[in-house]
Amino acid sequence: MAETGAGEQTAPDTKLARNVGAVLLFFFIVGDTLGAGIYTLVGTMAEDVGGVLWLPLVIALVVALLTAGTYAEMISKYPHAGGAARYAERAYRTPFLTFIVGFFMLSSGIVTAALLANAFSGDYFTTLVALPADVLGSGGGDASRILTPSPDQPLLTGAFAASVVAFFSFLGFEAAANMAEEVKQPSRAYPRALFGAVGTAGLVYLLIALGSAIVVDPNVMAQSTGPLLEVITASGLPIPGWVFSLIALVAIANGALLFVGTISTLADTTVLLLLFVLISTNVSCLVLKKDRVPHDHFRVPAVVPVLAIVASIVLLTQQSVEIWLLGAGFVVVGTILFLVALLGRRRETAAA
């Protein structure tokens, strides 16, 4: 991968001041990526892979890095707000597809907020309210658990199933595209910040996964709505449970909406919607490879978006019929909204 381009090195002018540097962008993406996923979904992954929590995270990390490469090229090539919807508009020139991509992005945010509200009502909230005085345990660790899969299904089957949930933990980096008009030298800043942030999140998640499996029996985590609280309690660390619960709730309280659905279902729905958005962005990258812009930008080999598309399709195959039906519902709603908007625009045009 290399930064190449044709023409000027400066990014296009925008109405916004380009005051955000690579370091600040890095922390923005890290902050947008780390958080709710790891607090709420470790237990769900434990059901599928037992103590081998690190394996689905590695699979999800590979998919995230591939797609981050595509985003690094697209954002530095077209450094304007809008993200995937803008890329779809430029690549496909089909208003319906552009609208659906944007609608999926919006809907994924709503479903994520619902997931966070669901997680908020679990053991973290209970512990915070109770403020127990004695939450420290004495449990000893068992390092052999990190190589002990779930007995309920083959390891690879469980790993790919859990990778859908694990991928949720890496979502957030794609939202950095909306800051494109405020970043200084986006062609240089975005690749460094994106890869650095996704890599940092992956390292943090892997360390948490390994530590969690060593300290707490995966069966206990699978049954808990506050799995990392179980880890802190069992580890004997001098951190009161209510303090850790407060930290967890701050991390997951980005959107507190009441919504009916399990954490796993909401996470899978979010991933389904965003996988289609990411596939659209990767296809857009391939379609626009020959499109020239008057400034230098980051490029990835064509094989990167191709592999990202394949990896995304593999994750899609792990979704249940229930999740696909929910996704179809979003398509129907999006189509209706598009037709309503189209009708309204035509009426405005006729009136003018």
Section 17-34 average pLDDT: 85
Residue range 193-216: mean pLDDT, rounded? 87
* Residues 270-283 pLDDT 10s: 899 999 999 999 99
Helix (H) or strand (E) holding 332: helix 321-351
Q: Tell me which of 31 and 52 has the higher pLDDT.
A: 52
Residues contacting 214, CB < 8 A, separation 6+: 141, 142, 143, 145, 146
Confidence band for 10, pLDDT divided at 50, 70 and 90:
low
Query: How far is 35 from 3, CA to CA, in rounded Å?
Result: 31
The arithmetic mean of pLDDT across residues 176-189, rounded, is 87
Q: What is the pLDDT of residues 111-150, one digit of tens each?
A: 776 665 555 544 444 443 443 333 334 445 688 888 899 8
pLDDT of residue 242: 53
Q: What is the pLDDT of residue 140?
A: 55
Full-model pTM: 0.81
Q: Which of 18-32, 137-151, 165-179 has the lowest mean pLDDT?
A: 137-151
Angle CA(110)–CA(111)–CA(112) in degrees, nearest 5? 90
pLDDT given at position 11: 57
Contacts 24+ apart (CB under 8 A), 219-222: 219/46, 221/42, 221/43, 221/46, 222/43, 222/44, 222/46, 222/47
Map out the domains of the chain with their CATH numbers.
2-324 (1.20.1740.10)
8 strand-pairing partners: 295
Express each pLDDT in 41-59 by its tens digit.
787 888 899 999 999 999 9
Alpha-carbon distance of 233 to 213, in angstroms, equals 14
Q: In the prediction, which pLDDT does 300 show?
A: 95
Across 157-165, average pLDDT? 89
